Structure 1
């Protein structure tokens, strides 16, 4: 309904919104509903529709042209973004997602847009949680997609994240907005498509999309509390910093932290000193397990993780940028290796 549309999109497109917005529209019913709903609102901020053509299958260019035509019919400008260059042999969907967000962030910076809006739904959130559960993710991964987060200089917002996909399909039908179906959504080669096929059976056992999304919300709440605790510990335990990539922490205080807080503190130090934005939880756990005996017993150990060198000795935990490695591997971007 128009009132609900206005309430959901007003923070990003209404009067008082921080600036213009880029709408990520693939042509499917979810993003088509986002585009159509945006067109129904009074033009308070500049709105630009963007379609990313990943060039991964035949027909993608025609689908992008269809979105451009639909945007024009709604009175909205459109920009085509193309993912050029070689494509990876494995992990193609993850790589495509990263490329898509990079292109959208670049466009937002180019046009000065304050936000990038996507049409992710409650169903997408449930599938994300289930996919990450299958991959063995920790609480941060199971927290799923955030309703809003930073994306370059803009904010990535998901105003439909708590809505069932069926409502957006119904919205397109009610307003007569034509939408396409992405065949990759049913391609069994992709894990997300396979899990989507399992959702009805899981729902019959009580594991419904709303319950999975509720789990994500609760874990996001707990993650925020743990991050705040880790930030406080960082301020309390830092003893010296002699450069942008060298940090020294009080080892005794570090040992006294609850394990969940210690892991986040360690992740923070590795991210700041190293060259990896994020490392896998099990590798952080292995690193913490290797450091504890040295800090408790007065010995010494040294490990690398995510491009950072982590040393424990004499009650001090030191994290620095790791020296470049010889050979084709370059710096270690996510493994834990003994280094003496």
Structure 2
């Protein structure tokens, strides 16, 4: 058995999974994302231990990236069958990207799982992300220079298209799930990609044992994520109220007009979130990814100083034109079509 780690007790299993698949949960049931590794195998096995109350479907996404992936999906199907759970294998078809492979695979995985949830009428997708996964995520985002939203890591539950994506094991060390599989003889596999240094997450995984003696343990990184999430939630709430209060008539078709004096009075963190929310609202389905560094540079370094001086300034961010006007108003409008010689940010 995994050294020093306790298997999950039945009461712990019920406390974590019953809110999603127990008698009081949504009658729509759940999709369990199971790759065949120890974490997700523990999720599947623990779900099978609960008294049947809500429909559960086990899903394995075969990304087709390794020769053994199809056999591993078949192995999950056999274990699921032995546990009395229905299983579906979801294939990621088509050519695979040469860059950002893991990110593309993750996006494809969630799209396939959400489509299956819609097909079977499930209201939630459960994944087996652990405290170790959370620590790696926070470390990766710390290295990337993320703000509170990024350092908040993975949410215990969040909307995913028209279902909920939930992570009931997010505060548990991986070792406890491995110990649970070993104690109950649930067979699992290990993905060799987890140790490939070409992937950023694998590199972070190898760093964590070196950082732990200095105090940067998975538990502390998990607490950092929880604190950052509380901070981000507070900023989001304040920004939502501020955006409603600052809106004025006259933004034009598809645009927004904000009171510049009120915008200047906001704390910088709230002003950044107000701007990001306003940009997303104006851009709509045309929204482009917006890096925090660009938002900080444009809003804090250019737009807010121009408003304070009563100067006119125009900048384009995320497909939206931001205009500091001499009358003290901040206008956001869809980015005009670019003609010859016109560049973004002009």
**Which residue of the partner structure matches residue 131 of structure 1?**
140
Contact 1:271 1:278 (8 Å CA) reproduced: no
Over 3 Å counting, the alpha-carbon distance change for 1:316 and 1:66 in structure 2 is same
Cα drift, residue 240 of structure 1: 2.3
Distance in 1, Cα, partners of 2:202 & 2:140: 10
Equivalent positions of 1:60-209 (< 5 A) are: 60-209=69-218
Distance in 2, Cα, partners of 1:178 & 1:67: 9
Distance in 2, Cα, partners of 1:217 & 1:277: 28
Unaligned runs of 5+ in 2: 1-8
1:260-291 per-residue CA deviation (whole Å, 9 max, x = no partner) reads 00000000011111223641110110120221
Misfit runs of 4+, over 6 Å:
none
Q: Name the SS of the counterpart of 2:249 in structure 1.
A: strand
Contact 2:251 2:331 (8 Å CA) reproduced: no
Contact 1:25 1:49 (8 Å CA) reproduced: yes
The counterpart of 2:315, out of the listed 303, 307, 330, is 303
1:208-252 per-residue CA deviation (whole Å, 9 max, x = no partner) reads 000000000001001111111101101110002667731110011
**Which residue of the partner structure matches residue 55 of structure 1?**
64
The counterpart of 1:292, out of the listed 296, 304, 318, is 304
Over 3 Å counting, the alpha-carbon distance change for 1:63 and 1:324 in structure 2 is farther
Distance in 1, Cα, partners of 2:83 & 2:253: 49
> How well do the aligned residues superpose, as a CA RMSD in angstroms?
1.7
Q: What TM-score does the superposition give when structure 2 sets the normalisation length?
A: 0.92
Unaligned runs of 5+ in 1: none
1:75-102 per-residue CA deviation (whole Å, 9 max, x = no partner) reads 1111111111222211111111111111
1:28-71 per-residue CA deviation (whole Å, 9 max, x = no partner) reads 00000000000111111110011111111211111111111111
The counterpart of 2:333, out of the listed 320, 331, 335, is 320
Over 3 Å counting, the alpha-carbon distance change for 1:72 and 1:286 in structure 2 is same
Distance in 2, Cα, partners of 1:111 & 1:326: 48
Distance in 1, Cα, partners of 2:321 & 2:199: 36
Q: What TM-score does the superposition give when structure 1 sets the normalisation length?
A: 0.94
**Which residue of the partner structure matches residue 14 of structure 1?**
22
Matched, 1:281 2:289: no
Greater RCO, CA 8 A, separation 6+: 2
Q: Name the SS of the counterpart of 1:309 in structure 2.
A: strand
Equivalent positions of 1:244-255 (< 5 A) are: 245-255=254-264
Contact 1:121 1:163 (8 Å CA) reproduced: yes
Q: Name the SS of the counterpart of 2:54 in structure 1.
A: coil
Over 3 Å counting, the alpha-carbon distance change for 1:324 and 1:22 in structure 2 is farther
Matched, 1:338 2:335: no
Cα drift, residue 326 of structure 1: 6.0
Contact 1:53 1:61 (8 Å CA) reproduced: yes
Q: Structure 1 residues 246-255 or 81-90, which shifts more?
A: 81-90
Over 3 Å counting, the alpha-carbon distance change for 1:240 and 1:107 in structure 2 is farther
